[in-house]
């Protein structure tokens, strides 16, 4: 397939994807506002959920569960595996021409950019700004810090703070791989992988490492970011793909 042919195909595809991104973005912001409002109106909801996994004598006992620890470690490994694979596939390589269906460069770049901007830079900036203490650091759970609601800027944490959950954000990132899935299988993929990603996220709540709002709001923010980025990358798909295709020709 020549660059010209590829551009013709991608022009039609990008128009559809652009419309999809525009449709999802308002929904994502509405969801973010809704969940933020819920946790602002009922801040004790975080404490109620965290107390469910805490015992006065043992603390957050699930932190000693070997299966849950391995499950957590898998969530930490997967983003690096995805980023590494995407970067390798983006490197100009004549061998890629022999693949039956090589992944589109704009999709690979979208995934890499999402992980860098969301679970990477974005999460760390919010953590440094809000400085919310983790559940296991609160007075209620044997620590010394005070509870604060999500989005409230405080001084209860110095580094590696609770809000928002980076691992919940990276778990959501698994859903962005749906851009590589055929449309007829996309719903199945989102349900199956979304279930695993939700379990990754809630595992952090079970450990006392994050509040429920840390995970839920992280997902809402990442949904908005993914919709925003996908709209931009799909709109410029022909130009992006042409650049990488010409380099590997």
Mean pLDDT of successive 10-residue stretches along the chain, which has 249 residues = 39 48 84 96 96 93 95 96 92 70 91 97 97 96 94 94 97 96 95 97 96 98 96 91 71
pLDDT at 249: 52
Handedness of CA 53, 59, 64, 69 (dihedral sign): positive
For residue 79, CA distances in Å to 75, 90, 157 come to: 7, 16, 26
Q: What is the per-residue pLDDT for 87? A: 92
Per-residue CA distances from 184 to 18, 177, 187 (Å): 19, 15, 7
pLDDT at 20: 65
Token pair listed for 59: 């603390």
Give the contacts of 197 (CB within 8 A, at least 6 positions apart).
171, 172, 174, 175
Q: 206 near 53, Cβ under 8 Å?
A: yes
211, 46 in Cβ contact below 8 A? yes
Q: Which two tokens stand for residue 29?
A: 């912001």
């Amino acid at each position: 397939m020549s660059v010209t042919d590829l551009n013709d195909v991608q022009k039609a595809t990008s128009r559809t994807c652009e419309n999809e991104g525009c449709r999802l973005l308002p929904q994502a912001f509405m969801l973010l506002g809704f969940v933020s409002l819920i946790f602002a109106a009922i801040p004790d909801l975080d404490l109620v959920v965290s107390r469910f996994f805490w015992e006065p004598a043992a603390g957050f006992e699930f932190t000693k569960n070997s299966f849950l620890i391995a499950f957590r470690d898998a969530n930490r490994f997967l983003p690096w595996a995805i980023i590494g694979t995407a970067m390798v596939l983006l490197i100009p390589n004549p061998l890629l021409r022999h693949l039956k269906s090589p992944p589109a460069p704009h999709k690979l770049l979208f995934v890499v950019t999402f992980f860098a901007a969301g679970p990477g830079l974005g999460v760390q900036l919010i953590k440094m700004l809000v400085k919310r203490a983790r559940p296991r650091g609160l007075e209620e759970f044997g620590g010394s810090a005070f509870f604060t609601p999500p989005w409230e800027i405080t001084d209860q944490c110095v580094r590696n703070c609770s809000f928002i959950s980076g691992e919940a954000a990276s778990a959501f990132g698994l859903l962005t791989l749906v851009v590589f899935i055929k449309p007829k299988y996309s719903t199945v993929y989102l349900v199956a992988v979304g279930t695993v990603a939700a379990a990754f996220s809630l595992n952090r709540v079970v450990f006392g490492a994050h509040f429920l709002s840390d995970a839920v709001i992280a997902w809402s923010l990442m949904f908005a970011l993914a919709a925003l980025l996908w709209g931009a990358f799909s709109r410029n798909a022909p130009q992006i793909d042409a650049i990488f295709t010409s380099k590997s020709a």
